[in-house]
Amino acid sequence: MSAPEPTANLLTSRHHRRKDMSMVTQDIRAKAEVCYGDETCREKIISLLTEKGLPSGLITVLEEIEEYRYIKDTGFVSLKHNSKRKDHKFDKVAVCYDNEVTAYFEPNRIRNLTGVKAKEFLIWITLSEIYVSGDIPVALITFKTPAGFSKSFPLSSFTFKDEEEANEVHEAKIGKIKGVKL
């Protein structure tokens, strides 16, 4: 019996290390309010987005949210979902979500964002901050990169117009997950 090639072991160990890396430390796990299951997690994140003055459709496009962690004192949020990587096209921008998204939520602002990218031309650009500015009729949402570049879009691009539209999007996602086309 021959020993496995050293490169195979190296690749496997790198893969496992990368998979186990998480922004959620043991300290955060101990302090956080934790919820499991798509419906409960979705309700919690929509409530938090609304409370912080952010658009309800911004993160709720994720499919099968399996874990939500929130530390009220610091505003830290961690979301995990089953999809390996989820792309979503809003009105004017494509956004990609990794299977774990972390951030610190403040009124009208998400900072220290990880796990979210936006597509500009043909390039996926990592986002580090999202904030809302202006009054409701002309409010803008701005995506900022770690390098300091930013781009603004109408806030309405990320907000469900009514509860019926939000339910239609959610039902379409459920149908897609189950393999049923609605």
* Separation CA 42–CA 62 (nearest Å): 9
The amino acid sitting at 45 is I
* Separation CA 165–CA 168 (nearest Å): 5
- Predicted pLDDT of residue 8: 42
Question: What global pTM score does this model have?
Answer: 0.72
First to last CA, the chain: 53
- Predicted pLDDT of residue 161: 53
**Do the beta carbons of residue 50 and residue 58 sit within 8 Å?**
no
The amino acid sitting at 144 is K
* Separation CA 156–CA 72 (nearest Å): 27
Burial of 9 (0-12, 13-18, 19+ CB in 10 A): exposed
- Residues near 73 by Cβ (< 8 Å), separated by ≥ 6? 31
Classify the C-alpha dihedral 42-100-141-160 as positive or negative: negative
* Separation CA 148–CA 86 (nearest Å): 25
Span 58-104, pLDDT tens digits:
876 677 889 999 999 999 999 998 876 667 777 778 888 888 999 99
Instruction: Flag residues of the chain having pLDDT under 70.
Output: 1-24, 60-61, 84-86, 160-182
- Write down the mean pLDDT value for the chain: 76
* Residue 29, CB-side half-sphere exposure with 13 Å CA sphere: 6
